[in-house]
Amino acid sequence: MRVQQVVRDARHTGQACPGAGGLADSLRRVDELQSRIELRTGRPGDGRWRRCCDLLETPYLFTRWRADLATWLSARHGVAPARTTASYVASWYLRVPAYVGALLLHHERRVPALRPEELTLRVAAEGRPNPDGVAVLGESFYCLPSDPGSALPEATVVADDRALAAVLRARYTAHAARFVQAYREVSPLGPRALWAAATDALDSCLWWAGLDGGDEGSGVADAALVLESRFAPLTSASTLCTVAATDGHREWTRSRESCCFSYLLPERAECAGCPRVRGDGRCRARKPPLDGFAFP
């Protein structure tokens, strides 16, 4: 099935209708529809939380994060290649603004500012050191004229769905640009690889928002709306497509733009959908698990 057909067919009838409350009310509603991560508002008191801007302004913190991941990988595989740890941490970080933005666009037709100063993440204290919590500190949001909260002082009204999708793309890309600039200083990944990871994060998270909320098709439609073509420096349009499952039915999947370098671990091969795999084998990525920001 072509993504364009899904865009034409989707009417988002299964999505929650926002109330007259502000962004905090929206976040509480969408949090009930997902189980990947703890989602909250306000500045947490726990010392394990870090604002995204603090990470970007002190890139050494990414080096420490990668070291924690290297310890975890080494305990399980005996090695922790630098490109593998760099790719995992990049993808985990980028999924923070991408998933928050995707959830709110999909379920509430609202888009938060997504500034690094207004997002805080928490890395799991035990086990795999991926983000297990995200807090949104800001109150401003973009919305449609029909939004009951459009008269709130923190609301900025845009004309229609296409304009709102453009806002999400712009706000996310602005955050990702700051990440790419900071992270390339402390990792072996270049700008092209990092922008590919940023593209994967946004496309995947829009898909997940629909899948997690029980309406996978409308998540695919949102991905096609936000990434209807390539918007540089993002590296592609949405790559979501359908393939035949083992029982013959069609299911959604996507091709990756970035490589996670898991194949560098012992007894591991390239993932399904990896950009290293050419031809028809690319669009074979498995459905995403529901256990947080698991990667790959």
Do 234 and 171 contact (CB within 8 A), yes or no?
no
How far apart are the two ends of the chain, measured CA to CA in Å? Answer: 25
Average pLDDT over all residues of the chain: 88
pLDDT bucket at 7, cuts 50 / 70 / 90: very low
- What is the value of pTM for the model shown? 0.91
Burial class (CB in 10 A: 0-12, 13-18, 19+), 6: buried
Residue with the larger pLDDT of the pair 240 and 271: 240
Ranges 41-45, 156-160, 248-252, 279-283, most confident: 156-160
Predicted confidence (pLDDT) at residue 13 exceeds the cutoff of 80: no
Predicted confidence (pLDDT) at residue 66 exceeds the cutoff of 90: yes
For residue 69, what pLDDT is reported?
Answer: 97
Residue 53 DSSP class: H
Q: Any long-range contacts for 162-167 (C-beta under 8 Å, 24+ apart)?
A: 162/225, 164/105, 164/109, 164/111, 165/105, 165/222, 165/225, 165/226, 167/111, 167/142
Burial class (CB in 10 A: 0-12, 13-18, 19+), 180: buried
* Residue range 26-63, pLDDT digits in tens: 999 999 999 999 999 988 877 889 999 999 999 999 99
Predicted confidence (pLDDT) at residue 291 exceeds the cutoff of 70: no
Q: What are the structure tokens assigned to 184, written together?
A: 């390339």
* Residue range 206-258, pLDDT digits in tens: 999 999 999 999 999 999 999 999 999 999 999 999 887 778 788 888 889 99
Residue with the larger pLDDT of the pair 283 and 276: 276
**One-letter amino acid of 211:** L
C-alpha span between 273 and 260 (Å, rounded): 11
Place of tokens 């453009």: 166
